[in-house]
Amino acid sequence: MAPDAAAAVLGGEALDALGRVCDLVGGPVLDDFSTERARAVLREVEVLVTGWGCPPLEAAVLAGAPRLRAVVHTAGSVRAHVTEACWDRGIEVASAASANALPVAEYTVAMILLTGKRVLERARHYRATRRHDDWLGTSADVGNFGRTVGILSASMIGRRVIELLAPYDLDVVLHDPYVTDAEAAKLGVEAVGLGELFARSDVVSVHTPLLPETRGLVSRELIAAMPPDAVLINTARGAVVDQDALAEAAVAGRIRAVLDVTDPEVLPPEHPLWDSDQVLITPHLAGSQGNELRRLAELAVAEVGRWAAGHGFAHPVRREGLGRIA
């Protein structure tokens, strides 16, 4: 992994914990498999603990790692470094995606509730006027009682959002082509078509991985179908949404949006979404940061311990599931 990722995720305590469940190779973190030291390390290791910035584990790299049997990733997606050669070799893979899903789900639920109460707009108005509104005269469309929340994709994060929303008086609908009506019922939600999700929901929360078939999935037509003043929350990837159509709808004041991701990741300074009071843009902060990184390290340490003890991974990544995950 990149040295800064190692410093952030595998600090002193985490590294000590890892050293209690396996024999660690000493020295600086590897971030380049082509160096002489990396080649020497790869000849000996059975498990690689990886993270953000890990180079691809291509066939040539694996040829120099005859004992390698497992990869434990301290972040979410393994697409950038676990190659077809890894699967062909039968290397077992685990990921901390489930640990990273929780803060994203927490962010999402917080934004659903805050936008329902129109907290940001009303706080801005309060600061400007410095006086109370007539709270008994608050519009009936403000609040979270009985609102309809649409979840786009029962991904790992989407499922955590559904779980965290369970205690609230909300109607939750789901669109995911891989989830049956019966499975949706077990999750406590109603399965609906894609168009119906956008037409019915007061809030649509996007949790779809960016795949060739999901690029631009949230189209101009779907955005146009959203009820007036509805909210689009995107914590997935910016390119899943038709950003031009979203900007037009938001600037026109027809819908609101909370965007933790955009396309590109930092919008040009002149982009209209920056200046729209209908839009909150955050700097891709929903995922694990700060003390939340400890959760990633703890999961990785536990996975290495389980694997070393012969119990297998609790959070495996399967080759056959890659077509549906980020």
Say which of 73, 175, 200, 237 is annotated catalytic: 237
Catalytic, 175? Answer: no
Rg of the chain in Å (alpha carbons): 22
User: Which residues, in sequence order, are CB contacts of 288 under 8 Å at separation 6+?
Assistant: 75, 99, 100, 103, 295, 296
Catalytic, 315? Answer: no
User: Which residues, in sequence order, are CB contacts of 153 under 8 Å at separation 6+?
Assistant: 175, 176, 206, 207, 208, 209, 236
Say which of 20, 265, 311, 318 is annotated catalytic: 265
Phi, psi of 173 (to 5 degrees): -115, 155
Question: What whole-number distance in Å separates Cα of residue 31 and Cα of residue 41?
Answer: 12
> How far is residue 158 CA from its own chain's centroid?
9
Say which of 284, 294, 295, 324 is annotated catalytic: 284
> Any idea which residue has 């119990």 for tokens?
311
Nearest to 155 by CA among 209, 197, 199: 209
Catalytic, 237? Answer: yes
Q: Please identify every residue annotated as catalytic.
A: 237, 265, 284
